[in-house]
Amino acid sequence: MNKWIKMFTKESSLIPLMAILLGLLFGALVMLMGGYNPIKAYLALFNKVFGDLYNFGETIRQITPLIFTGLSVAFAFRTGLFNIGAEGQFIMGSLGAVYIGTQFSLPWYIHAPLAIVVGGIMGGLWGAIAGYLKAKRGVHEVITTIMLNWIALFFTNYVVANFLRAPGQQRSEMIQPSASITLNWLSQVFDNARLHLGTLIALLAAIVFYIILWKTKQGYELRAVGFNPHASEYAGMNVSKNMINAMLIGGIFSGLGGAVEVLGVFKYQSISAGFPGYGFDGIAVALIGANTPLGVVLAAILFGILTFGAPGMKLGAGVPVEVIRIVIASVIFFVAASGIVKSIFSLFKRGKEEVLEK
């Protein structure tokens, strides 16, 4: 138990906690300025999420892809890379899954796993492109991943529109039932909320994340490269191979997220002008989760609750849902500029000391 308390009182977890608090406060301020009641709004948010079984189940559904993309971004971070490409890897993952799901007829015990694996590989390869370009060509991964996001979006639209399209619809055909990973019995318990096996896979992925990074030689190298690429190079590690691997594994996490979203929730891939957004939220999730697997899961839960509950604020207090984007943005901002949070800390500390001196 002590270990747990220590884990949450370390500075590394205090800063995200402070940032979340400040973010929520800032959101409240924005609501006040807009003439809304923030307490009523936040209560409505929690009421939406925890009010009934269906919405609670749907919140879990919302959390699932965030765990995947959060892990994806966090994994790259550990190697000193910034993966803004979770969005594209996610889309490529769903494309792979929807392709297998619609174009093949297989028994369920092969079909769904194959679709998931192909989705993961597609996402992984998409990430590896950025890793390769960084390692071999010195191209900054931030730019390539942003560009790859858009390419993935249009490429997926092209494939869906031309090869997988349901007649007269802006989406692909439905996947075969054998590729579905919906948990019917659980879904019924939760009033037909779209619960699926992907949530379990997400938690497993978090464990795999932990094992790879902290229990294997490869993971040691990845972390070493992230910590100090020059020293690692000197110690005989292959820095560029590690960069590619990090982006590959990170991409696999996102790809899996996209795959289970398609196979468990929507059952089709739509032709879309924009991104689903889970990849960008994954950046926030990873940052707030301090790039640890447990942190990512907790941050994803927080984000899932905030984003799923936002429409409740609209209903219960009339607050536009965008206010949650403002909260999320300010949380990232406070995590990024942890200097601000630290100076607020030291203000408190100084305050205390002054009191003591008196």
Site for other proteins, rule CB under 8 A: 30, 34-35, 82, 84, 133, 137, 139-140, 142-144, 146-148, 150-151, 154-155, 157-158, 161-162, 273-274, 280, 283-284, 287, 320, 322-326, 328-330, 332-333, 335-340
Nearer to other proteins, 107 or 138 (CB): 138
> What is the CB neighbour count within 10 angstroms for residue 141?
25
Phi, psi of 80 (to 5 degrees): 75, 20
Our measurement of the distance from residue 92's CA atom to the centroid of its chain's CA atoms, rounded to an integer in Å, reads 15
Q: In the numeric block, which tokens belong to residue 157?
A: 């639209």
Nearer to other proteins, 50 or 227 (CB): 227
Q: In the numeric block, which tokens belong to residue 269?
A: 């891939």
Shortest separation between residue 136's beta carbon and other proteins, angstroms: 9
Q: In the numeric block, which tokens belong to residue 284?
A: 């926030």
Shortest separation between residue 357's beta carbon and other proteins, angstroms: 28
Residue matched to tokens 């997220």: 257
Shortest separation between residue 341's beta carbon and other proteins, angstroms: 9
Residue matched to tokens 């994803």: 300
Are 81 and 243 in contact by the 8 Å Cβ rule? The answer is yes
Query: 274 — alpha (psi -120 to 50), left (phi > 0) or beta?
Result: beta
Residue matched to tokens 């529109």: 161
Shortest separation between residue 93's beta carbon and other proteins, angstroms: 19
Shortest separation between residue 137's beta carbon and other proteins, angstroms: 5
Are 149 and 214 in contact by the 8 Å Cβ rule? The answer is no
Q: Tell me the sheet residues that pair with 165.
A: 172
Kind plus residue range of the DSSP H or E element containing 96:
helix 86-103
Shortest separation between residue 168's beta carbon and other proteins, angstroms: 18
Nearer to other proteins, 51 or 311 (CB): 311
Shortest separation between residue 178's beta carbon and other proteins, angstroms: 30
Our measurement of the distance from residue 94's CA atom to the centroid of its chain's CA atoms, rounded to an integer in Å, reads 15
Nearer to other proteins, 284 or 299 (CB): 284
Nearer to other proteins, 24 or 139 (CB): 139
Nearer to other proteins, 34 or 351 (CB): 34
Query: How long, in residues, is the chain?
Result: 358
Nearer to other proteins, 150 or 227 (CB): 150
